[in-house]
Structure 1
């Protein structure tokens, strides 16, 4: 008799595809890891197919698992839509929205915008992932991405907030460098995210115009660049939205056009129809200001 896969089976496959570990999958499903393992064994026996490869890095989905996960995502969308329809108070939006961005954008723009959303939708909760890598929205590792890019992926839909403008900064009071001429004369110690962000526009620009210069401090985020510059430890290239209101920083160049990128709020085609995702997406699109 052919195995009849259930909605619960699809949920197990989708969750394990997203998390890659039994423990994390169990946490999301409200089960212990041994139960998730037994359920997976039961599904694989019923289908007579291996759905996941067991590796040191976790459970890696096979092509069959990825195909089933796509169907599971469609079921998830429909279930969430049905729950929204069934809400007693239609204007209320509830649930968890997962947002991926960089630490710079999170602290400088996204967090203040979400705080302002609390009054409108107090039942929403958030999972915030800050990192330089683009978390996969196709696998629903996140619902919304807020990213600086010149060309967002074709498989995502979104809104361009505007250009991210940058300039060179030094410390306002106790920096060793007071002008761009000092930088050109080789008097500056550079602070830059070379290893963490080798393709960052500021790194590319410096290597083009100051090819012989090596950073005195290599750091892993633009936030760290800003804080070290403010302490007078060197100069750095910073986005203007991040430096607003900082009296301890002094801008020593005009806007560097070659470093300009655009800020985008992105989501997946299907996710944008979910009420919780749509509410946050619309708010970020309107509230983020550069």
Structure 2
């Protein structure tokens, strides 16, 4: 019985390599067997399932609809086998393929994209697709493999971990901060704020409440534009703490008169989310681990730096 289970797992391994590489020869080389063995294993799997998984062409293998449908279950089996064997090296060896990550544009541009060279050096066989959009994607419908989100998603079919709790703070270009001095009223500073489509957003509401008569030289819901404008000295912007570590921005100086409003700065959470069935798939697990380590290092660094100002 154990031998039969081992043979079936070997067939699934062959299927995964053939699916990913679309070549019998390359799959055989990766598995350390000859091409005839790969062909025989695939044929055995097709007979057992009663479907055709690949069509042959001069360019290599062509996936059938049945292969596309089987791939997710095969990856889940691969992940379960890696957990069972507790072999971290095999997980690293099998970490390959494409992972689609959905996240806010600001996170993508300022934190994730700059870290991708380090990720690629560690996982050269994983390709990342960044869906940098404020529009939420449905992980249950496989619109993405992973998500960095500001709210926790509930459901037994999802796995989540909290990356951080971030405090937003008023920041601006050092020249502007120096010119403004210690503020006794938020109305005394020019503000970069959110456009009307984001008026219900907590940071926008904070500015509307505490700086109702302040000049607003720019309203935009494009986060990167807010940051660039603040760096250029156009006005103060309310940004999450990780952005305060940028050398081109400095926290606003305040007097005791603004102590209560500073204490009421908005807070937001950052969560990493994945479908449960994909969480331990090697390619997804590799990205998950990297994002947790990378984002927590960034948040920890920015928080200590912001507190030191």
TM bucket by the smaller chain? 0.5 to 0.7
- Render the CA deviation track for 1:174-226: whole Å, top value 9, x for unaligned: 4663333252xx33222112335334321122233344557431112232212
- In structure 1, C-alpha distance between the alignment counterparts of 2:228 and 2:113, rounded to whole Å: 19
Q: Note if 1:138 corresponds to 2:147.
A: no
8 A contact 1:177–1:188 mirrored in 2: yes
Higher helix residue share: 2
- In structure 2, C-alpha distance between the alignment counterparts of 1:6 and 1:180, rounded to whole Å: 72
8 A contact 2:193–2:220 mirrored in 1: yes
Larger Rg: 2
Question: What 5-or-longer segments of structure 2 have no aligned partner?
Answer: 1-49, 54-61, 82-88, 300-309
8 A contact 1:201–1:258 mirrored in 2: no
8 A contact 1:229–1:235 mirrored in 2: yes
Give the TM-score normalised by the residue count of structure 1: 0.65
- How far is the alpha carbon of 1:145 from its aligned partner? 0.6
Q: Secondary structure at the match of 1:119?
A: helix
Question: What 5-or-longer segments of structure 1 have no aligned partner?
Answer: 9-29, 32-38, 40-70
> How is 1:77-226 mapped onto 2 (pairs within 5 angstroms)?
77-81=72-76, 90=90, 91-92=92-93, 93-149=95-151, 151-154=152-155, 156-174=158-176, 177-183=180-186, 186-211=187-212, 215-226=216-227
- In structure 1, C-alpha distance between the alignment counterparts of 2:146 and 2:184, rounded to whole Å: 42
Q: Note if 1:270 corresponds to 2:277.
A: yes
Cα distance change, pair 152–207 in 1 and its aligned pair in 2 (3 A)? farther
Q: Secondary structure at the match of 1:146?
A: strand
- Between the two proteins, the alignment pairs up a number of residues equal to 223
- How far is the alpha carbon of 1:7 from its aligned partner? 8.1
